[in-house]
Amino acid sequence: MGIADNSPVPRIAVIGGGISGLAAAHRILDQANRLNRSVDLTLIEAGNRLGGVIHTCERDGFVLEAGPDSFISEKPWGLALCRRLGLESSLIGTGDAHRRSFVVCQGQLQPVPDGFYLLAPTQLWPAIATPIFSWPGKVRMTADLFLPRKKRSGETEDESLASFVRRRLGREALDRMAQPMIGGIYTSDPEELSLRATMPRFLDMEQEHRSLILAMWRQRQKMLRSHNQQAAGPRYGLFVSLKEGMAQLVKALHTRLPPDSIRLGTQVSALWKKPSGGPWILNFGNGSQLEADGVCLALAAFQSAGLLEALDAPLASKLRSIRYASTATVNLAYSLEDIPRSLEGFGFVVPAIERRQILACTFSHMKFSGRAPHNRALLRAFMGGALQPEAFDYDDDEMIRIVRQNLQELLGIVRPPLFSLVERHAQAMAQYRVGHLDLVAEIEALAKRHPALQLAGNGFTGIGIPDCIRRSEECADRLLEALDTAHPRLMPPRVAQWSD
């Protein structure tokens, strides 16, 4: 980084060392570097490692993901960051041979019908042939082909996932597929989950095509045509990961940050300004302080609320109204010979109506290569979420017992695992409830009163890793712009664009 003439160097604090904080910090340095300017960056993390919920552990040749195991390739910001970090050759797609999943139906694993995408079929025949739905359920689903579209009061009108699916495809489609598939991603109650904030394309499909099934079918035809025409190049499928696990992304970001810019084991306890103005002041748990000209909060919304309480109570109150759910992962390592049935797929989801205490289970060794040594298997179950909050409070032994009991009933696995790993993510999954986007707009409007303060994290415009990266990069750009406006000498003239 070059040293800016005689201008003071802007001090920027990023609070939170998960993917949001890391992506923001990386973008700030990257942009400053491109413009040959200096910034004094500090990334502050309460824990003793970076990555937040991203946590890959290695043991006996297994690569265990205690948090996210992949990210979606359809949203470009994850892949783009990996490429900028030089990780392209480490990207791995899901195994082609077993690209299918199962859903538990009356105690049995049934394959998700071919072409079924999250909540609706793109092909009618597999959805009719599957035993997952009853005949009345199938007839009700096809009624979507004839039902009129719902008149909306405005383009941004919201609806819960449950209401939308019940209305278009019927109750069975909700209970048997949409709830476990989408509830599994968001660990949410479908009666509360905002479709506008999570999967707006389904609402738009109804407005554009009237029938969801027709819209999905047309989209599939279009996709097939464009795939056939696409130039050769790496295709990863819907989900991608990294050879060494998701922590490889964290490690790559870490190595791009100057070592003295990172403060681990440092909890920020308050964020304030003197009434006369001046820089931001960060209070740490140990009584020390840090001054910063700009701050990016890369935390859960309620954690940001806690820091902002004294400074801006209305903003803090809005931030607090974004709820979070807790979830736990239970990794179990097995000898392949102890698994009596072949696991030809990526895993299964469990509808709430099945009344089991696990939400889903990934067959990690089938989903991505290199996750288990030869002749070994790695299974990863999820517990908790908005619909089963009590399960999060069980101790490790109880969680392992419940997962093993379910694996015995569903997969016939009786033998104990070689070892297991339980990890809890307390209040880590933001719940985007109906009206979420309006709430975020109100938060953005209130936050604008503090231009050198940016709110990143998974509570606002997407919970997945690519969305977190996008938001953080936008926050970094806005922060640099605000500092440029507040201290014109700090940044070069506005001829350069911040974005790529």
The residues that touch ligand FAD, with contacts defined as CB under 6 A, are: 15-21, 44-47, 52-54, 67-71, 267-268, 298-300, 303, 327, 329, 425, 428-429, 457-458, 463-465, 468
Q: How far is CA 473 from the centre of its chain?
A: 16
Measured CA to CA, the distance from residue 430 to residue 413 in angstroms comes to 33
User: Smallest distance, Å, CB 290 to ligand FAD?
Assistant: 11
User: Smallest distance, Å, CB 472 to ligand FAD?
Assistant: 8
Cross-strand pairs, 361: 348, 381
Going 411 to 414 to 418 to 423, the CA torsion angle's sign is positive
Nearer to ligand FAD, 65 or 484 (CB): 65
User: Smallest distance, Å, CB 425 to ligand FAD?
Assistant: 4
Measured CA to CA, the distance from residue 197 to residue 200 in angstroms comes to 6
Residue 284 tokens read as: 């740490």
C-alpha distances in Å from residue 246, one per residue of 12, 51, 91, 144, 481: 27, 9, 10, 39, 31
End-to-end alpha carbon distance in the chain: 18
Nearer to ligand FAD, 46 or 339 (CB): 46
User: Smallest distance, Å, CB 54 to ligand FAD?
Assistant: 5
Nearer to ligand FAD, 1 or 281 (CB): 281
User: Smallest distance, Å, CB 263 to ligand FAD?
Assistant: 9
Q: Which residues contact 455 (CB under 8 A, 6 or more apart)?
A: 296, 297, 301, 304, 319, 443, 447, 475
**For 10, what's the count of Cα atoms within 13 Å in the CB-facing half-sphere?**
26
Nearer to ligand FAD, 257 or 299 (CB): 299
Of all residues in the shown chain, the one whose CB is closest to ligand FAD is: 52
User: Smallest distance, Å, CB 66 to ligand FAD?
Assistant: 8
Nearer to ligand FAD, 124 or 387 (CB): 387
User: Smallest distance, Å, CB 231 to ligand FAD?
Assistant: 27
Nearer to ligand FAD, 224 or 238 (CB): 238
Nearer to ligand FAD, 221 or 289 (CB): 289
Nearer to ligand FAD, 203 or 430 (CB): 430
**Interstrand relation of 91-93 and 239-242 (parallel, antiparallel or unpaired):** antiparallel
Measured CA to CA, the distance from residue 71 to residue 79 in angstroms comes to 9
Torsion angle, CA of 276/280/283/289, rounded to 10 degrees?
-90
User: Smallest distance, Å, CB 256 to ligand FAD?
Assistant: 16
